[in-house]
Structure 1
Amino acid sequence: MRTYGTRSRGSLFAVVVLANALAGHEARASWPPPAEATSKDVADPKYWPNDPDYGASAESDGQWTHYGFLPNAAAGIVRRKDEIAAGMSIDLAWRISIGDPRVIIAVTDTGVLWDKPDLLDKIFINHRELSTHKPLHADQSACGGVGEFAGFDCNGDGAFTISDYAESLSVPADDRNGNGVIDAGDLLLAFSDGIDDDGNGYADDIAGWDFAKDDNNPFDDTRAGHGTVDAAVAAASTNNGIAGAGVCPRCRVLPLRVADGLSADAQDFAQAVTYATDTGAKVVQSALQLPNMTRFAEAALAYAHAKNVLVVTATSHVGSRQNDMPATSNHTLVVHALGYDGTNAASSQSFLDARACAHYGGQGFLSASSPSCTSGVAGAVAGIAGLMASTALEHGPTPGLTAGEMQALLLNTADDVDVAESRVAGSPYQYSQYGFDERFGYGRINASRVLEAIVAKKIPAEVNITSPRWFEALYADAVGSPIAIDGLIAAPRANAYDYVVEWASGVEPSEKDFEGHIIAAQDNIDPTTKVGDATPLALLDVRHVAALIEGSSEALHPPSDHAITVRVRATAHYGGTVGDVASETRRTYFVHTDPDLAPGFPVALGDSIESSPKMADIDGDGVRDLVVLTSGGFVHAFALTKVGPTPLPGFPFQTNIVDGLASSSPPGIPSYTTAPGYTSGAVSVDVAREGFINAPAIADLDGDGTVEIVASSFAGTIYVIQSDGSSRPGFPKALPRVPSCPESPSMGPPLALCMDETNRIARGAFASPVLVDLDGDDKLDIVQAAFDGHVYAFDEAGNDVPGFPVAVNFAGAGQKPVHSRIMTTPAVADMNDDGIVDIAVGSSERVGQAGHFGALYVIDGRGMTAPFGPVLAGWPVTVTSSNIAPLFAEGLTSSPVIARFGAAAAVVAHGNGGIPFVLPSKPGPQATFGALPEFALPEHPDPMDGAKTIRGFDPADRFGPFSRVPQPNTMLGLLSSPAVGDIDQDGENDVVTAGGSASLVDRLRGDEPDDRGDHQVAAWSGATGAMLPGSPFLSEGWSSLQDHAIADLDGDDYPEIIGGSSGYLLHAYDGCGREPSGFPKFTGQWIAGTPAVGDLDDDGSLELAVGTRSGFLYVWRTRGRTDGVIAWESFHHDNRNTGNLATPLEQGVLRKAAAPLSEDACREPPPPPAFRALGGCACRTASSDEPVPPLALLLGGACVAFVRRRARR
């Protein structure tokens, strides 16, 4: 065990360095403001903390988000008369509390930069792991302190922080991480001994934990900084003359690293929440946008809630109503952002502006003031929650506040945003009303008022709805009885309480809309009774609701079509000076009917479904089965039967339990299984499995006549599942681990493969596996692009294919980019006609000036053994790709595909904010980064001069004549991948991708564009380079890096472009912009994967399948036929994920129409499809008569029957 004594050399320097960092300037004596201070008083600088960023001035807005007053207005600016505060009145809250060091705020984010001056003394240090490493005074005498801090509190401030080591540790001798100061990171580097001194299941958890790397050092190794900034917003040291003021200055911060950006694996997030709860945190803050959501994460959130831990989550900043995770989960407090309406605070008339980039929707319960979209919102609200917990410690109640009470208090005391001007046509303000609205929730948080309510003991009843889940679609034609509304209502501190459960139509119904729709109520309930503990809160008759809302005005405003709100209100009766205290919560649902749904669908699979489904004959009966992966680690294989989906024998398959929670951990990985959250059974480790957010690949790997399912987990393990549901010998196979690089040169040389600011890599995989024969042995190999920047290839037994892996590193002109992940699924084809399959892949490396370009590579199928190097001559090619955000929107994240254009095989790819490039094997030189290569395709006549030819696609602002997208406008590829097929049936392949207006790129960056922009899907002609007549088509939300299926769904011989988005709808457009009857399909949830088409019941007609991020699997019957046009059947074209249009499909044809789909054809009503008897009934609804607005029809009936050649039982 390591011991130490006082250093004779440098100890004074250590004291000076630490003191300067912690103290800064002389504290202002008049802060915090006195109890009697008013809004007018706190506008006086004498009551401000002395932090230089706090006060407003002519040059700076200051921390206006904290203000309970309006800063001075510029000349000529008239403020809205009803506004009296710019921010959340945190300055007035400081009259009551500035926090308590016993209150811990856990920050689940990118980790911490240990040397942040404002956080040095705020990091929670676990004294229980340091019982043999207590700090000492300079004379080596023991330090003071009382209770559990006896012997630790050297400076007598009642807490244990790094400042208590100021006399014990010195710089440079004890500066283990080499950053020039003594910090909590130095403690864990010095005193980690592998022993779990406190027996909490985490050895040496001295100052937080890193769940992304599974070690005890939550240092932000890529220096992303986001977690550090958010921690400072919540609880930075204040009145110390450094930077800005933290919201809860005396609270402590528990850094929990779960990612190196704002996207973390839900399984890591779940472990962090469980750890925070077990460690005694009162608040968990999360600004994360999880790419997945699992039962494990839900269990961790429920555990936190049960242990009275409030979890604060921010929404995304993409200006959408998408169902963000974890914000759409149970037991989270969801907050979105407010700003001012001018260019700065002084020029603003209002501080209640719903930012263009801010999220909106039914789950956004509160608004918080923010200087830049959602940045810092979670931290600010977590800090306010810290003030609440601190106030409760000082003033009661006893026992302390529950998470539900804290949420109810915040909702009760918020400043309602009810701007009358917003309800006038042409208003510059977003719509608001009395009470809840989807842009502002219940209003802007008022920190002062919520603390006043706690002091006055005005504690509301806890009200909570847990089921059905947020935004669930309730199908009136598929339920036989009322649906249970589950949750909890409790008011144990009151004398009695009442409650009512009611519903109304819409996402933001008015108070009047709820009248007459009570579904449960009870008065004068004994406070020891918890309503919902044993029985549902209420029963909702969906069929009755459907009849009442049919034809309501809400149905005219997709994608919130058929929305209803279920609301629970409770009143706690205290009597005396407290009186009655109200509380409220709500859920948004959708009441819907869809006659095209296959029996038994949608089916809830328990975990989110980001993966794209596949259809293949798994059990060898000659009929396709439906294969879908979940984020919770399940591989499902269903047969479609008359009564619904039936799991195949041996399925579902389950992946490995995540590192740290398995019964035995790999070498170097700690085990957390003895932590209280797990040993209590509250959080089951059985659901903590490696999950999927990509598509499986399915084929017969070894030629034995049975197919295998290949799936790669987000954590970086490749699974091969045999047709009986068992794991193939040699698998699973884990990709190499990527530890953190040493924090400083003094800690040793960099490792061969490690993560830091110049190596933004990790273990894991977002790319789907690709199956192709690389080595010519007539067996399929597995090609896997990985987060560590390599392309791997394994044979059917799990051995490395010779020449692999290949590291992908840009070596072109300009500054060498940071080594980064590969997000793209490779496409495979023999590009140069040498008889060897080549691999096209994009890298997330940020190339060129400001990193606004990505690189596209073609790797020789021989890999490192290729005679002229692993990358074909002429590659990589750079494409414009805006550097928007880490992981999902940097470099090239759009998966390339391959098809023939004319006689040439060409790679098709685009970056974020660019137009697709079509590149032959020899693309030719580029004039500069992102320029169109000399030999790019298609080559076509110049419409301005027929004697000339030009290359590439038309400019982004040149739309088809029948496009319904508002113009002038642009269409740029964004967060999507291309697909290829002959959409107009003219004999040439066309290119399809999703994206939108240029202003969407600005919104993704968190900017505030004047134009909100339009989400779009576009199709370009491979013959002319122009957009097809109806292109681009409108969409309702963001794509998720998926591509589109291309198949004829209505039997007219012209294929539809089929895809969904975060906007709830699944569209199917033909080249004219028309949709088949019954489309778009409504789910009420975020569709992240590519749909799959195929015949699941052997009747010759196509089924259409897709999952949602809320965990529901949908299958619809269509009027498409297996012998019709099917160009792109699922993600990346086919079941092997080759991304190559030339790979043969086992269904459909590429071309069938008698004539091309011309502009004249788009002007005319399409001929009604011939009625075809399918068995059972001979009825069919005709397609739309003309090009229609893409949202005009949500519902359309079609009597779809079928006859089976081979019936399933």
Structure 2
Amino acid sequence: MEGQPDGAMRNRLDRNRRWLAGGSRHPERLAMNPAAAVRSALLLGGMLASAAFATVAAPVLKWQHGGCYSSWCETGWYSSPAVADLDGDGTPEVVASAYSIVVLDGATGALAWRLASGHDRSEPGAQSVGRTWPGIVVADLDGDGALEIVTAHGGGWVSVYDAAGYFEPGWPQRPVQNELRALAVGDLDGDGTLEVVVGAARGNATNTWVYEHDGRLRPGWPQVVGSGGYAWGIYNDTLALADLDGDGAREVISPSDVHYICAYDAHGNHLPADPIYGARNWGQVGVWESYAVEQRGWGQCNGVRAESYRTNFADGPATVADLDGDGVPEVVATGRTYDCTGGETTKYTGVYVFQPDRGRWVTARHDWRTVPVDLGLPLSLDYNQIESAHYDPVVADLDGDGELEILFSDFSGRVHAFWLDGTEHGSWPYSVYRPAQGYYRFASEPVVVDLDGDGQAEVLVTTWTQKGSNANGSLLVLASTGALLHEVALPNARGSVDWNGALATPTLANLDADADLEIVIQTAFSGVVAYDLPGSANARVLWGTGRGSYARAGTPAASGRIFRDGFESGTLAAWSHRTP
């Protein structure tokens, strides 16, 4: 009926009624936070009156072409920028990399300094060793209270710099000559210092290396998979570092170019899998669409769907989080589901949720033994036509019900959001591809933030366009229901190009003296750009940068304060509040 809320809105109203009535799974949160209860009551009243979202302002361009030269910009890839107060002056800097590494003034985008990748500032005039694929890491690796910058590049180089851009002792390292596409840091052994983990794009089962903070290769690494599991090249920023067993130390989850996911302890030992799979390790249990076939351990690849659909993780990262708030982490993984009958015909992007022992996640409330299927055929897998889409899973509570939703963009041109019931609600998925435009568009990994403090999160993505389209990409703001709130064209390229946009995950941060957040974007041909997010002074950042935090470890940041303060402590648990 005209004037009545649609089905998605009715569901939202019902959830809020239940929450206020004590039907939430976490009613104690309201008792502990009366202000939240008041805000929720006001929100419910507003929805009942208007069935509409609070106003979210459109992003406003702050600065553009950061790090560019006078007539051109280096080609930016998938590297998510970081924001930190590097020099301790109380104002943040932006650290980004396409090929060279640039540090920019946060408020203006002016260049502070630049260095060639694989080199440091003692080598002016050096040439970069290759492009930068994984996100920029900024963290205190050695626990001395000073920040380090960690980068990984083409040619197999991984570097650790001090905050002024000079190599730390023991760095750089070059485990292989292949491009390093995965980079993460975390404390694997509980000693208070962070290890540096990298993964290589190579046709070889030895794909993951772990270094101590001082550049020494950690004993047990690189892991030669051998009979303990199956692995191959790593072609995206796929690594996750997380404590799966509750012992206080992080494990390494390493998806790669096979239909298996390996998981290791700090010493490179394979983690055992659920006994339901027999005496196998994580990396010995293949991922099939059919749970029955997965339990059996093999499929016939004979044209029968159950026997032939399995998922490859060459581009598919793992993300680890406690999805339902029960204190036990889950592993979310996305990958390319294909028919193994012949030719590996791609069917759709698969999404899976695993328990810490690799069993498919099942509880009294949720059952992911049966997975979502047929999420959309690829628009194109030809990077000569359009640069590849990657399906990095993001976890965030979109609707304020205390459980995390799973979001990812894929090669169908859609942004997906799955609730823990295994379905997409509201207007999800949202398609950034519009056939009437006559060219393909893909979307970045999302960032998630409640911009206006109404308890419902907004989802922000960037897009890039098909080669030869002569079209720019955009910055999109989506509501928690998947409805489009704003679309803003990204700045024009500097130089002559026939496509543009932003492949990299944006980063949310407070760049200046006001209370509002900004969003920082590494574009393909317009350098680094920043937009103001008006009215975001009380925003809650739920997933604020590529792979969740500046550790790039595939886990949510320990606190949203990182995105206001521009500093993450070495423990990844405590926070230094250096900037207002």
Range of TM-score over shorter length: 0.5 to 0.7
* Equivalent residues of 1:976, 1:1039 under 8 A apart: no
Q: Distance in 2 between matches of 1:865 and 1:840?
A: 10
8 Å CA contact retained: 1:1127, 1:1149: no
Aligned partner of 1:724 in structure 2 is 214
8 A Cα contact 2:330 2:354, kept in partner = yes
- 1:631 and 2:93 matched: no
Deviation of 1:847 after TM superposition, in Å, equals 6.6
1:882-921 to 2 correspondences below 5 Å: 882=378, 884-885=380-381, 893-901=390-398, 902-903=400-401, 904-921=403-420
Name 1:706's counterpart in structure 2: 193
How far did residue 1143 of structure 1 move? 3.8
Distance 1:1041 1:821, change over 3 A: farther
Equivalent-residue separation in structure 1 for 2:540 and 2:404 (angstroms): 21
Pick one of 677, 691, 695 that aligns with 2:179: 691
Shift of 1:691: 3.4
Letter in 2 for 1:601: R
Show the counterpart of 1:568.
Answer: none
| Structure 1 residues 552-567: aligned runs within 5 Å | none
Q: Report the Cα distance in structure 2 between the residues aligned to 1:1049 and 1:1028, rounded to whole angstroms.
A: 23
Looking at structure 2, the residues matched to 884 and 474 of structure 1 have their Cα atoms a distance apart, in angstroms, of: 30
| Structure 2 Cα separation of the partners of residues 857 and 892 of structure 1 | 18
What residue identity is the alignment partner of 2:368? Answer: L
Q: 2 CA distance for matches of 1:892 and 1:811?
A: 25
SS in 1 for 2:547: coil
Q: When the two structures are superposed, what TM-score results if normalisation uses the length of structure 2?
A: 0.62
**1:651 aligned partner:** 171
User: Partner of 2:141: helix, strand, or coil?
Assistant: coil
Check conservation: 1:852, 1:891, Cα contact below 8 A. Answer: no
Partner of 1:1029: 486
Which range moved further: 797-806 or 848-857?
A: 848-857
What is the CA deviation profile of residues 530-570 of structure 1, one whole-angstrom value per residue up to 9, with x for unaligned ones? xxxxxxxxxxxxxxxx8xxxxxxxx7xx879xxxxxxxxxx
**Where in structure 2 are the equivalents of 1:1039-1188 lying within 5 Å?**
1042-1071=504-533, 1128=543, 1130-1141=545-556, 1143-1144=558-559, 1147-1148=562-563
Distance 1:706 1:971, change over 3 A: farther
Summarize deviations over 1:578-635 as a string: whole Å, max 9, x none: xxxxxxxxxxxxxxx9985565424453311223211001232212111111222222
Structure-2 separation of matches of 1:779 and 1:897:
22
Report the residue type matching 1:1021 in the other structure.
Answer: A
**Distance (whole Å) between structure 1 residues aligned to residue 432 and residue 539 of structure 2:** 32
Specify whether residues 969 and 1140 from structure 1 end up closer, same or farther in structure 2 by C-alpha distance, changes over 3 A only. Answer: farther
Question: Residue 1018 of structure 1 is aligned with which of 476, 485, 489?
Answer: 476
What 5-or-longer segments of structure 2 have no aligned partner?
Answer: 1-66, 75-103, 119-127, 274-281, 292-303, 494-498, 566-576
Q: Distance in 1 between matches of 2:500 and 2:263?
A: 32
3-state SS of the aligned residue for 2:155?
Answer: coil
Change (3 A) 1:731 1:866: same
Instruction: Give the AA of the match of 1:1056.
Output: E
Tell me how far apart the structure 2 counterparts of residues 647 and 895 of structure 1 sit (CA, whole Å). Answer: 30
SS of the residue corresponding to residue 1028 of structure 1 reads strand
Larger RCO (alpha carbons 8 Å, 6+ apart): 2
> Which of 612, 619, 623 is residue 135 of structure 2 equivalent to?
612
Q: Does 1:801 align with 2:271?
A: yes
Q: Tell me, what secondary structure is at the counterpart of 2:215?
A: coil
Instruction: Kindly tell me the number of residue pairs found equivalent between the two proteins.
Output: 422
Which amino acid in the other structure matches residue 420 of structure 2? S
What amino acid maps onto 2:352 in structure 1?
Y
Residues 498-537 of structure 1 mapped to structure 2, 5 A cutoff? none
Counterparts of residues 48-59 of structure 1 (less than 5 Å)? none
SS in 1 for 2:154: coil
Q: 1:955 to 1:801 in 2, by over 3 A?
A: closer
2:332 is aligned with what amino acid? Answer: A
Bigger Rg, structure 1 or 2: 1
More strand as a share of residues: 2
Identity level (%): 21
Query: Offset at 1:1149?
Result: 5.1
Deviation at 1:1128, TM superposition (A): 4.8
- 1:952 is matched with 428
CA apart distance, 1:1055: 2.3
AA aligned to 1:732 is: P
Partner of 2:446: 978
Tell me, in whole angstroms, the C-alpha distance in 2 between the residues paired with 1:1034 and 1:878. Answer: 35
- Contact 2:321/2:556 (CA < 8 Å) preserved in 1? no
Q: Secondary structure at the match of 1:853?
A: strand
- Per-residue deviation, 1:734: 3.4
Q: What's the CA shift string for 1:1041-1080, capped at 9, x where partnerless?
A: 53221122234333223222321422222457x9xxxxxx
Rounded Cα–Cα distance in structure 2 between residues aligned with 1:797 and 1:844: 30
- Rounded to whole Å, the distance in 2 between the matches of 1:1055 and 1:884 is 35
2:312 paired with 1:841: no
| CA positional deviation for 1:818 | 6.7
The one of 253, 259, 264 equivalent to 1:783 is 253
What is the CA-CA distance between 1:1031 and the residue it aligns to? 4.1
Displacement, 1:842? Answer: 1.4
Matched residue type, 2:180: F
| Structure 2 Cα separation of the partners of residues 1124 and 725 of structure 1 | 38
Give how far 1:787 is off: 0.9
Shift of 1:1035: 6.6
Counterpart AA for 1:1132: R
What value does the CA root-mean-square deviation take over the aligned residues? Answer: 4.4
Shift of 1:821: 4.1
Give TM-score scaled by structure 1 length: 0.31
Over 3 Å counting, the alpha-carbon distance change for 1:811 and 1:1032 in structure 2 is farther
Q: Secondary structure at the match of 2:395?
A: strand
Equivalent residue of 1:654, what SS? coil
Q: Which residues in structure 2 correspond to 1:926-965 (within 5 Å)?
A: 933=423, 936-937=424-425, 950-952=426-428
Change in Cα spacing, 1:893 to 1:809, as seen in structure 2 (3 Å) is farther
Match for residue 106 of structure 1?
Answer: none
CA distance in 2, matches of 1:986, 1:1141: 21
Within 1, Cα distance between the matches of 2:440 and 2:249? Answer: 40
Q: CA deviation at 1:986?
A: 4.0
Gap change, CA 1:861 and 1:968, over 3 Å in 2: same
The 1:887/1:712 distance shift into structure 2, 3 A limit, reads farther
- The structural deviation recorded for 1:729 is 1.4
SS of alignment partner, residue 562 of structure 2: coil
1:774-831 deviations in whole A, cap 9, x for unaligned?
1222211011111122111101111111211242222389573476443122111223
In 1, distance between residues paired with 2:266 and 2:150? 20
1: distance between equivalents of 2:225 and 2:444?
Answer: 26
Q: Distance in 2 between matches of 1:819 and 1:900?
A: 26
1:655 offset after TM fit, Å?
1.2
Distance 1:990 1:1133, change over 3 A: same
How far, CA to CA, are the matches of 2:244 and 2:475 in structure 1?
A: 34
Cα gap change, 1:975/1:918 in structure 2, threshold over 3 Å: closer, same or farther? closer
Contact 1:829 1:898 in 2 (8 A): yes
* Counterparts in 2 of 1:1031 and 1:952: CA distance versus 1, 3 Å: farther
**Contact preservation (8 Å) 1:735, 1:763:** no
**Correspondent of 1:768 among 231, 235, 238:** 238
CA contact (8 A) 1:1029 1:1071 kept: no
* CA distance in structure 2 between the aligned counterparts of 1:736 and 1:798, rounded to whole angstroms: 12
CA distance in 2, matches of 1:845, 1:789: 9
8 Å CA contact retained: 1:825, 1:895? yes
Report if aligned partners of 2:317, 2:392 keep a CA contact under 8 Å in 1.
yes
1:829/1:601 Cα in 2 relative to 1: closer, same or farther (>3 Å)? same
* Distance of 1:1140 and 1:599 partners within structure 2: 30
- 1:733 Cα deviation (Å)? 1.5
How much has 1:1136 moved relative to structure 2?
4.4
Q: Is the 8 A contact 1:1056 1:1070 kept in 2?
A: yes
